[in-house]
Amino acid sequence: MSEPTQRHDVPIEPAPAMIEEFTMLMSLALDDMLDGAARARFDALVQRFPALAEMWADWQAIDQRLGAMPHAEPAAGFGLRFEQRLASHAQRQQQRVVTVSLIAVLLTAGLGVLGMMSTGAYVLATQGPWLGEQLRNWVYLSVAVTAWFSALTNTLGALANSPQAQTLGIVYVLAVAVMIVGSLQVLRRSTHLSNAIAVPGLE
C-alpha cells in the first residue's frame, strides 16, 4: 500500500493565539509603531498565512478610507452651549433637591401636628375626668400659694412697722457698726506694731 500523499494546496490555518498576536502587531503596524523584530515577525505571519494576509489587506483598506474621510469639526459655540446646558442642568437638579427637601420637611411637620392633635383628642376622649381633676388641683394649688405668699408679705410688713422690730433693727445696725470700727482699730494697731518691730532690724 502506498502512503497517502500530503496536499500542499490546502491553506494552513493560524492558531487562535497566533491570530491574537497578529491582531496586536497589526494595530501597531497601522500606527507605524513596529520595531525591527516585531516588523519581521509581522511580515513572516503575513507571508505564511493567507488568512492573515487577507485580514491585513482589509484593515489597510479600512484605515485608508477612515483617513480619507473629512474630520468633523464641532459647530461654533459648541463648548459654550454645552457649559450653559450643564450649568442649567445642575441648577435644575439643585432646585429639585431643595423642593424635595422642603416637601419632606412640610410632610414631617404636618404628620407631627396631626399626631399631636390625635394624641390630644385621644387623651381628652379617654382621660377627660382625670384631666379635669388635675386642672382643678392645679388651680387650688395656685390659689393656695398666692394666699400664702400674700400672708407672708403682710406679716413681714407688719413686723417691720412695729416699734419692737424698728428697735431691734437699730440695735443690729449699731452692733455691726461697733464691730466694724473695732476691727479697723485692731488692724491699725497690728500694722503699727509690725512696722515698729521691722524698723530696728533693718538698721
Task: For 146-182, write each residue's pLDDT tens digit.
Answer: 888 888 888 777 777 778 777 887 888 888 888 898 8
Decide: pTM greater than 0.75. Answer: no
pLDDT in tens, 72-96: 676 777 778 888 888 888 989 899 8
Fill in the amino acid letter for 93: Q
Dihedrals φ, ψ of 7, to 5°?
A: -85, 120
pLDDT in the model for residue 200: 53
pLDDT bin (cut points 50, 70, 90) of residue 57 is very high
d(CA 203, CA 195): 13
Contact between 11 and 51 under an 8 Å Cβ cutoff? The reply is: yes
pLDDT band at 2 (very low <50, low <70, confident <90, very high): very low
C-alpha 111/C-alpha 117 separation (Å) is 10
Three cell numbers at 198? Answer: 521691722
Mean pLDDT of the 106-114 span: 90
Phi, psi values for residue 33, rounded to 5°: -120, 15
Give residue 5's pLDDT.
45
Question: CA–CA separation, 164 vs 197, rounded Å?
Answer: 50
Query: Is pLDDT of 203 > 50?
Result: no
